[in-house]
Amino acid sequence: MTAQVVIFLRAEPGKRTLRRLDQAVARNLGHRRQTLVFLHGDAVSLAVDNCPERWRSPGADRRLELQVCTAAWQRRHPGRQPASGWQRASLVGLWDRLLRGADIDCLVDCKVQPAQPEGTGAEFLIEVSAAPVEPGSTEMLELVLAGASLDAQMQVLFRGAGVAHLDLPDARAWQQLHDFELARLFHAAGARPEGLMPALPSIGLDSKAMAALAHQARAVIYL
Partner 1 sequence: MTTSDAWIEFDGRRVALDAEGHLANPADWSPAVAVALAERDGVGLGDDHWWLIEFVRDHYHRYGTVPLMRQAIMAWRRASGDDTIGSRELYRLLPDGPIRLACRYAGLPAPESCI
Residues near partner 1, by CB under 8 A: 69-71, 74-75, 89-92, 138, 141-142, 145-146, 148-149, 151, 172-173, 175-176, 180-182
Q: Which is nearer to partner 1, 6 or 145 (CB)?
A: 145
Angle between helix 171-179 and helix 136-149 axes, rounded to 10 deg: 10
177/135 Cα distance (integer angstroms): 19
Q: Which candidate, 125, 83, 101, 81, places its Cα nearest to that of 36?
A: 101
Q: Which is nearer to partner 1, 25 or 141 (CB)?
A: 141
Instruction: Tell me the closest approach of the beta carbon of residue 149 to partner 1, in angstroms.
Output: 5
Q: Are strands 124-128 and 154-158 parallel, antiparallel or unpaired?
A: parallel
Instruction: Tell me the closest approach of the beta carbon of residue 49 to partner 1, in angstroms.
Output: 22
Instruction: Tell me the closest approach of the beta carbon of residue 68 to partner 1, in angstroms.
Output: 10
Instruction: Tell me the closest approach of the beta carbon of residue 79 to partner 1, in angstroms.
Output: 12
18/54 Cα distance (integer angstroms): 13
Q: Which is nearer to partner 1, 93 or 204 (CB)?
A: 93
193/21 Cα distance (integer angstroms): 37
